[in-house]
Chain A
């Protein structure tokens, strides 16, 4: 647990309820008047969202991210060599974690049906993918094509990808997608509010959308490419988890850079520490910019080395991608036939 040294500062008298809470960054330091720090201590995470001030104090009390350290650790984990049987296993696991995605203005019902067919039978004896991810109006098409296959239907909602709309519209869109049969909702946070420090607005929106989701899983897209710093990524991760996210997702895929390894690393650290603090496990979904089997395997290494193998399952880790699946299938064929594969022999998507 790399950043728990923070709790070692002996200035604050602690009244921790459980040892699990120790050092999870739960000291709340509220700024009063002329920046006089008054330390208070909370005993449960529900309190941190009791007011705007408390939430800001909590999020800013999270220890900062060592940017160079995070970059180096992610780069170092990216050099792991995964070969032969381990590679075969990793490729199959990665295929089963893919959220096959199409989020274009030009999407048609036919394209979604074709993608669903591929999601169920990617080719050869490869396992089926975890889910397909579409715009809300295409959810009925995907549900119709996937009924009973075990592949989940995910839908983006809340004015994807910008998130610039009123809360009523966001909740309405979510309700409609869930009513149409979506198993998972990918919402975007209001980055404008987050970056201007109005954390409570972001929090309230996530809570409202979570309520509208009902039984459907909620994935919260942080859009890390717009958050500017790693500290913000950590804050946004905690904010989303506190508000009830079932998954935290890096990006919409519409902004570059998207899911870079250091960002995924920071989010994995956040879900690990969140489980240590609260006992609730939250999933992670890097999305956007993961195009090759090598990138996918690097992500699996990150998961295993950061969060642990509890997260190495499609229930807790997903890869949002469209072109990745073909590369995974090509690598899979290379392993089984010994010949380099060519894209002419795989479906276009």
Chain B
């Protein structure tokens, strides 16, 4: 008698747990050739709301952790991802060799951002000379909860937008790519097993046109990364909603994910705090 294989149910990743969508909906995910792969959860606005609550709850702990510690945890994520190379390459599909290269590039990207955790403050902070008896220091601080609409590139693109947001101490709610969300949920399994506190990254699968406006209008979200939005009209509506509470917005722009990313994605979601310390009294 042959064994029945155990198939994975693709769920959401909210607050360190894997719940089904509150709405109970799902949608079929197909491969590039049109073959049925799996049913993924189709998140509703209430799942987005819960994810923001989880991200807000995780923010004090994550932003308060030392940058060194955050870097170590991101490096650990890279380690875990490396251990699942085969699984990710299979999920990406396409040519075996090309898929393996994408996974390797993803691991390298994580390690690259992990290295920035304790250096970004040295590069973007400053000790300012002022005309008075003060030490004047500028230091970059995380902005808070960032909503991320992930690009279509299912793994490298996803990691390239999530890593820069969390490495500086933000927490995030990610809307995974609608046509290819499976790698995002497998990445969530990696995150859940790699010391990343629950709620730092929350992953929703489903319609970006349905979820993005709710996140853009949410008054408890501090930043919005629209990288994955292809529809110009949707991007505009999201930017307008984001203006309501002056969210930091990263506008959609075509990206080559294999190129050197630079620090722009990190600094976009940092706020500079300047403090004056009196001296000589």
Name A's B-contacting residues (CB within 8 A). 338-345
B250 at the interface (CB under 8 A from A): no
Q: Report how far A290 CA is from B245 CA in the complex, Å.
A: 29
Within 8 A of A (CB), among B224-253: 241, 244-245
Partner of B217, one of A340, A343, A344, A345: A340
Chain A nearest Cβ from B146, distance in angstroms: 14
Q: Which of A340, A342, A345 has the most CB of B within 10 A?
A: A340
Task: Tell me the complex Cα distance, A344–B52, Å.
Answer: 14
Q: Is the interface of A mostly helix, strand, loop or mixed?
A: loop
CA–CA, A341 and B217, complex, Å? 9
Compute the total of residue contacts between A and B using a CB distance below 8 Å: 26
* Chain B 242-268 interface 0/1 with A at a Cβ cutoff of 8 Å (1 = within): 001100000000000000000000000
User: Does B245 contact A340, Cβ atoms closer than 8 Å?
Assistant: no
Minimum CB–CB distance from B147 to chain A (whole Å) comes to 11
A340-B218, A342-B218, A342-B245 known, 17 other contacts, Cβ within 8 Å: A339-B217, A339-B218, A339-B219, A339-B241, A340-B52, A340-B214, A340-B217, A340-B219, A340-B220, A341-B220, A342-B219, A342-B220, A342-B221, A344-B219, A344-B220, A344-B245, A345-B219
Name the A residues within 8 Å of B245 (CB-CB): 342, 344-345
Contacts of B217 in A (CB 8 A): 338-340
Look across to chain B and name the residue whose beta carbon is closest to the beta carbon of A338.
B217
Number of interface residues of B (CB under 8 A): 11
Asked whether, in the complex, the Cβ of B52 is within 8 Å of the Cβ of A339, the reply is: no
| List of B residues within 8 angstroms of A338 by Cβ | 217
Whole-angstrom distance between the Cβ of A140 and the nearest chain B Cβ:
37
**Complexed CA–CA distance, A341 and B49 (Å):** 10
Q: Which residues of B contact A340 (CB under 8 A)?
A: 49, 52, 214, 217-220
Closest to B245 in A: A342
Cβ of A343: which chain B residues have Cβ within 8 Å of it? 220
Q: Which residues of B contact A342 (CB under 8 A)?
A: 218-221, 245
Q: How far is the CA of A340 from the CA of B245 in the complex (A)?
A: 12
Q: How far is the CA of A340 from the CA of B241 in the complex (A)?
A: 11
CB proximity of A30 to chain B, nearest CB, Å: 56
Chain A: minimal CB distance from B228 (Å): 21
Q: Which residues of A contact B244 (CB under 8 A)?
A: 339
Q: Which A-chain residue is minimally distant from B216 (CB atoms)?
A: A339
A333 — nearest CB in chain B belongs to which residue? B219
Q: How far is the CA of A70 from the CA of B62 in the complex (A)?
A: 42
**CA of A12 to CA of B221 in the docked complex: distance in angstroms?**
67
A344 to B246, CA, bound (A): 13
Neighbouring A residues of B221 by C-beta, 8 Å = 342
A315 to B179, CA, bound (A): 56
Q: Which residues of B contact A345 (CB under 8 A)?
A: 219, 245
Highest count of chain B CB atoms <10 Å: which of A338, A341, A342, A344: A342
A-B contact pairs, 14 of them (CB 8 A): A339-B241, A339-B244, A340-B52, A340-B214, A340-B218, A340-B220, A341-B219, A342-B218, A342-B220, A342-B221, A343-B220, A344-B219, A344-B220, A345-B219
4 interchain residue pairs of minimum CB distance: A342-B220, A342-B219, A339-B217, A340-B218
Residues in B whose Cβ lies below 8 Å from that of A341: 219-220
User: B52 — which chain A residues lie within 8 A by C-beta?
Assistant: 340
A328 to chain B, nearest CB (A): 16
**Of all chain A residues, which has the CB nearest B213?**
A339
- B155 CB, min distance to chain A CBs, angstroms: 30
Docked Cα-Cα span, A342 to B221, in Å, equals 8
Within 8 A of A (CB), among B118-157: none
Complex contacts, B219 vs chain A, CB 8 Å: 339-342, 344-345
Contacts of B218 in A (CB 8 A): 339-340, 342
- Chain A residues whose CB sits within 8 angstroms of the CB of B220 once the complex forms: 340-344
Which chain B residue has the least Cβ–Cβ distance from A346? B219
CB of A148, distance to nearest CB on chain B (Å): 34
Q: Shortest Cβ distance from B133 into chain A, in angstroms? A: 33
| Min distance, Cβ B213 to any Cβ of chain A, angstroms | 10
Q: How far is the CB of B199 from chain A (nearest CB, A)?
A: 16
Expressed in whole angstroms, the minimum distance between the Cβ of A334 and any Cβ of chain B is 9
The complex places the Cα of A344 from the Cα of B244 at a distance, in Å, of: 13
Q: Which of B214, B219, B221, B241 has the most CB of A within 10 A?
A: B219
**Complex: A220 Cα to B219 Cα, angstroms:** 40
Q: Using an 8 Å CB-CB cutoff, how does the interface string of B202-221 with A read, 1 for contact, 0 for none? A: 00000000000010011111
B contact residues around A339 at 8 Å (CB): 217-219, 241, 244
The complex places the Cα of A338 from the Cα of B220 at a distance, in Å, of: 14
The distance from the CB of A285 to the nearest CB of chain B, in whole angstroms, is: 28
Question: CA separation between A342 and B220, bound complex, in Å?
Answer: 4
Q: In the bound complex, what is the Cα–Cα distance between A294 and B193 (angstroms)?
A: 33
Nearest CB in chain A: distance from B241 CB, A: 7
With both beta carbons as reference points, the residue of chain A lying nearest to B219 in the complex is identified as A342
CA–CA, A339 and B238, complex, Å: 12
A344 partner residues in chain B, CB cutoff 8 A: 219-220, 245
